[in-house]
A = this chain, B = another copy of it.
């Protein structure tokens, strides 16, 4: 049983501050400008986030962090989702920060001050499946040689460092024998190709051609990489769920606004009961998902080792709710919702990418089922 899911005063203040900042510095129009300019994220915004302590949200103060915790990271992610603010926040400030918690302080300070951008390279196929990792890290003396391919690496093109999961023993499908490496993104033999995804953010394919790594590059234990990674993934999933809740709320806000303004057949369309009931249903779904998001953040803060089911409930719900919110958003806007000139499509596209990243609905539903023993 976690602490109350109602936000604390600090959390309310954090949300208000984040909202004020993002609406000013990164409204959806900024995302559009980035897209039109071919920028996958705004490096200026990222610097400002660092100055406000967002990049250090999960880092201890002695590493330059603000140590606000996972629920706070979720609140920030949610607000970013609501305005579609693109940044390597989840990859770097949430997942890498969690994975490297025990690492040397210089790694952490780079995250806290915004100078490092981390990408997490896990998946090798179109579906999230860490254990299916086949990318080989062959041991030769004290060193390793990494060969293989990683796909759908969020923030992989912009990253200065890459956390890569490699197989040092066993075969794909096994949880043992995986090792997590922390590499400079420019290391010889590592080539990165940016992919053009529908959400217009940074996703890359990483090809490892006998990339050299040493024992110093290993995070945690050799063959025991899932230990460090598992918590990082949960942290990322919780934050991404929060972002998707923000995407839902952003799309829903646009939609109810439109329902109140738009006139058709001589009436404000929001007065049509069929649309009202669908909007009210969507409101209910968003509220229920919001509870799951808050709960996942609380669990990550209070009892991360038991948080798996809470996180998976959050990601499963957030995925479905966002899908409903953007579908209803486009449909209720009618033709204008389909035009590129209008922002609703951006929400739909981000919701789709977010649905896949770090495990889709079925992946997380299966984890919930396993946790509930069926």
Contact = CB atoms under 8 A, between A and B. Distances in A.
A267 to B, nearest CB: 11
Interface residues of A, number: 5
Assembly of this chain: how many copies?
2
Contacts of A277: 274
Interface string A244-284: 00000000000000000000000000001110110000000
Contacts of A276: 274
A277 B273 CA distance: 10
Q: Interface SS of chain A: helix, strand, loop or mixed?
A: helix
A274 to B, nearest CB: 4
A272 B274 CA distance: 8
Interface in A260-319: 272-274, 276-277
A220 B277 CA distance: 57
Q: Which of A272, A276, A277 gathers most chain B CB within 10 Å?
A: A277
A297 B254 CA distance: 49
A284 to B, nearest CB: 15
Contacts of A272: 273
A259 to B, nearest CB: 14
A202 to B, nearest CB: 35
A273 B276 CA distance: 10
Nearest to A272: B273
- A-B pairs, top 6 by smallest CB distance, nearest first, are A273-B273, A274-B277, A273-B274, A274-B274, A272-B273, A274-B276
Interface of A: 272-274, 276-277
6 contacts: A272-B273, A273-B273, A273-B274, A274-B274, A274-B276, A274-B277
